[in-house]
Structure formats: structure tokens, C-alpha cells
């Protein structure tokens, strides 16, 4: 009881800002309601779905975003090129370099001349780098890979086969660690639950019946190990800079796809191996990365949840959510994460307003279809 009592001053400090979140939602909801009554939403122009000459409908571009990862590309690229040759057909490998200073661009051009390189002037982060890369893609399927992924030579076919269903948005791979003795914190079988007013996300265990399936529904397709329908990706708007510099862009993108009536699935027979997991932690530090993930949990809820009961549950329980999280970490960590999210509240609400016009299924439907 004493531990909880010490949290009271921190929760009192946050309470006015919790109320401002509620007020922001109320105002945004009213403006959106009035706006829809005055003027119908203008349908977004659907992007051209043509395939560039020389590429077939099963052609894919394997897009790898890199930042100072020359040593990772040295391990990653040979397996990717082998997989592309093994699958046959016409595929392309594109490295998007986020302003590296370690000689990554020269290294790729010298040792892997068959790889196309898009050299950016600075680091645009995970989402920004991928968005700029997709703008250069000439195929209808794009495969996102982290630069620390090594792929099985047969990984590509199960991903491409998934798009025989035209409602598919993304097909993701099963993920392994190179060290088989490590606990599999990532599997590719992603799940989520909305519990006591807050979203929680995890990778589930792979069962024997999963291995036997061609595909299984997942909550989100991992941004470093999945294939996407480029046309649908562009129609959504790509990875949202709201979550910059990293984490949960892929969760948000997949959720937006689900709510539009599209599907995200895992192909268990497509296998990739994460060689150097959590390279972002080595560059940014554990606390900053974890704090950014927590910030983005708030932003994901504020942008995406439109079910009225779920929204009210979040608002009514917000102080309890914050208190529960403070007991798991520490008060200053949670206060920092909340205020970082609060600063982005107007952007989250604007994106919410734009996205809700395209939703055709509910939040509860998404959770039911991916559980």
C-alpha cells in the first residue's frame, strides 16, 4: 500500500493533462461531426496500380533501410541476393541509406553492384527511410527487411503466394534468432489486447498447427520482415511520422489496413533470422528506446481507437493506467513518456480524423480477427 501511496503526487500532477486529453478528443470529435455534416469527405485518389515494364505481378523489391550498418549489410545482403535468385523471376534489391558516415554506400556499390542504392542526405529514421524508398519502387510488392536480418533462401515464395488473396495487405515472415538457445521474444505471430483501457502488444508462441498453415492472421506485420501491397501502402500514406524516430510504425500501419477491411497474415514457412536484435538500443540506449515505445502506446490509442466504449474506458482509467505503469517502471519514466505523447496529441487527433473516414470495420472486429 505504501508503494501506491507514494504515486499520489505524481498522479495529481498528471490529472490536469489527462483532462486536457479528454477535452482534446471532445473538441476534435465535435469538429469532425460538424465537418462531416457540412461537407462530405472527398475520396482520396487511388494510386496507379500498373506494373513498370520488365517486372511481373509476382516481382518484388526487397527494401533495406540502413544507417551506419555496413557490418550488418555484409552479413545480410548475400542471403537476400541468394533468395532472390532462388525464387527466380525478376526481383530487385534496394538499399535506402539514411545518410551513413561509415562508408555503407561505397561498400554496397563496390561489393554488390547488382543492388540499387538510394543515398539520402540524412537520417530520416525507420519510417521516413522506408517511405522514401517505396517512392522509388517499381514493383507492386515491396518486402521490408531490417539490415540485420539474414533470410532463408526459400523465404520469398511464401510471401508472394500470400497475395493470391486480393484482400491481403501484408504477409510477414516467421522470425528466429541465430542463437537457438535464446528465448524467442520475436516470432512474427503478433497479437494485441485492449486491457483495462490500454493496448498491449506481444509475439505469441508458434504451435504445430501454425507451422502446417499456409498463413495465419496477425495483428501487425513486422516492418523488418514482411511483404506489402505497394498500392495499399501508398493509399494509407505509408509509415506515420507520428511515431518517429522508431517503433510501432508497423503496428499502426497494419491496424489502419485491418480497419479498411484488408488483412495482415504470417506465412510460417517464410523464415528469417534476426542476427543483431535491438541495434537501436546500442545507438540510443535502453531507457530512450523503452520510453519511446511507451510514448507510442499512448499515441497508437489516441490515433486509432474509435470504439466509444473503448475510448471511454481509456479516459476513465487513465490515472490507474499511469499508476499501474509507474509501479512497473518508475514515476519519472512514465511522466516523461506521457508528456512526450501529450505534445503530439494535436497531430494524433488530426490523423485520427483523416483515418476514421476510411474505416469499414471496428476495433473489436480487428481484435477478434487477430486473436
Q: What is the three-class DSSP state of 229?
A: strand
What mean pLDDT is predicted for residues 162-190?
Answer: 90
Q: Whole-prediction pTM value? A: 0.92
Q: Among 34, 45, 97, 33, which Cα is nearest to 69's?
A: 97
Per-residue pLDDT at 1 exceeds 80: no
Q: Are 361 and 259 in contact (CB under 8 A)?
A: yes
- Angle of helix 8-38 relative to helix 331-343, nearest 10 degrees, comes to 20
Give the distance, in angstroms, between the CA of residue 210 and the centroid of all CA atoms in the same chain.
22
Q: Can you state the percent helix, strand and coil of the chain, rounding each to 5?
A: 50, 20, 35
Which of the four pLDDT bands, split at 50, 70 and 90, describes residue 216?
very high
Which of the four pLDDT bands, split at 50, 70 and 90, describes residue 179?
confident
Cα dist from 30 to 27, 253, 306, 314, whole Å:
5, 26, 14, 19
Which of the four pLDDT bands, split at 50, 70 and 90, describes residue 28?
confident
**Peptide bond just before 248 cis, omega within 30 deg:** no
**Between 279 and 240, where is the model more confident?**
240
Instruction: Spell out the residues 6+ positions from residue 81 whose beta carbon is closer than 8 angstroms to its own.
Output: 93, 112, 114, 115
Over residues 66-96, the pLDDT tens digits come to 999 999 999 999 999 999 999 998 999 999 9
pLDDT for residue 5: 84
Unique residue bearing C-alpha cell 525478376: 90
Over residues 93-142, the pLDDT tens digits come to 999 999 999 999 999 999 999 999 999 999 999 999 999 999 999 999 99
Q: What is the three-class DSSP state of 141?
A: strand
Per-residue pLDDT at 33 exceeds 60: no
pLDDT for residue 23: 93
pLDDT for residue 283: 77
Q: Are 155 and 272 in contact (CB under 8 A)?
A: yes
Q: Among 126, 98, 338, 149, which Cα is nearest to 246's?
A: 126
Which of the four pLDDT bands, split at 50, 70 and 90, describes residue 275?
confident
Per-residue pLDDT at 42 exceeds 50: no
Q: Where along the chain do its domains lie?
A: 11-23+284-369, 60-277
Largest CA distance in the chain: 69
How far apart (Å, rounded) are the C-alpha atoms in residues 102 and 120?
Answer: 14
CATH superfamily of 60-277: Spore Coat Polysaccharide Biosynthesis Protein SpsA; Chain A (3.90.550.10)
Amino acid at each position: 500500500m505504501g508503494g501506491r501511496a507514494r504515486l499520489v503526487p505524481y498522479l495529481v500532477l498528471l490529472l490536469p493533462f489527462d483532462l486536457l486529453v479528454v477535452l482534446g478528443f471532445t473538441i476534435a470529435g465535435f469538429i469532425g461531426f460538424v465537418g462531416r455534416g457540412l461537407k462530405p469527405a472527398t475520396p482520396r485518389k487511388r494510386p496507379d496500380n500498373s506494373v513498370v515494364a520488365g517486372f511481373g505481378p509476382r516481382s518484388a523489391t526487397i527494401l533495406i533501410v540502413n544507417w551506419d550498418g555496413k557490418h550488418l549489410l555484409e552479413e545480410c545482403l548475400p542471403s537476400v541476393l541468394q533468395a532472390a535468385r532462388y525464387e527466380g523471376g525478376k526481383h530487385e534489391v534496394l538499399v535506402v541509406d539514411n545518410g551513413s558516415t561509415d562508408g555503407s554506400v561505397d561498400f554496397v556499390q563496390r561489393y554488390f553492384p547488382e543492388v540499387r542504392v538510394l543515398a539520402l542526405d540524412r537520417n530520416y529514421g525507420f519510417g521516413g527511410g522506408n517511405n522514401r524508398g517505396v517512392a522509388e519502387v517499381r514493383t507492386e510488392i515491396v518486402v521490408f527487411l531490417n539490415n540485420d536480418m539474414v533470410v532463408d533462401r526459400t523465404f520469398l515464395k511464401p510471401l508472394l503466394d500470400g497475395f493470391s488473396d486480393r484482400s491481403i495487405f501484408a504477409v510477414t515472415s516467421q522470425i528466429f534468432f541465430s542463437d537457438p538457445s535464446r528465448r524467442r521474444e520475436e516470432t512474427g505471430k503478433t497479437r494485441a489486447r485492449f486491457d483495462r483501457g490500454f493496448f498491449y502488444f506481444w509475439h505469441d508462441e508458434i504451435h504445430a498447427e501454425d507451422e502446417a498453415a499456409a498463413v495465419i492472421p496477425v495483428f501487425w506485420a513486422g516492418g523488418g520482415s514482411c511483404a506489402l501491397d505497394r498500392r495499399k501502402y501508398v493509399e494509407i500514406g505509408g509509415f506515420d511520422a507520428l511515431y518517429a524516430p522508431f517503433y510501432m510504425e508497423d503496428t499502426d500501419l497494419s491496424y489502419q489496413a485491418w480497419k479498411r477491411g484488408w488483412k495482415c497474415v504470417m506465412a510460417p514457412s517464410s523464415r528469417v533470422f534476426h542476427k543483431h536484435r535491438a541495434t537501436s538500443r546500442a545507438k540510443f540506449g535502453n531507457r530512450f528506446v523503452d520510453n519511446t515505445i511507451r510514448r507510442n502506446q499512448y499515441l497508437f490509442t489516441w490515433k486509432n481507437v474509435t470504439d466509444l466504449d473503448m475510448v471511454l474506458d481509456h479516459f476513465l482509467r487513465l490515472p490507474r493506467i499511469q499508476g499501474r505503469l509507474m509501479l512497473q517502471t518508475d514515476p519519472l519514466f512514465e511522466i516523461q513518456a506521457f508528456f512526450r505523447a501529450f505534445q503530439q496529441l494535436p497531430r494524433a487527433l488530426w490523423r485520427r480524423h483523416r483515418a476514421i473516414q476510411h474505416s469499414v470495420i471496428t476495433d473489436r472486429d480487428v481484435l477478434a480477427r487477430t486473436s
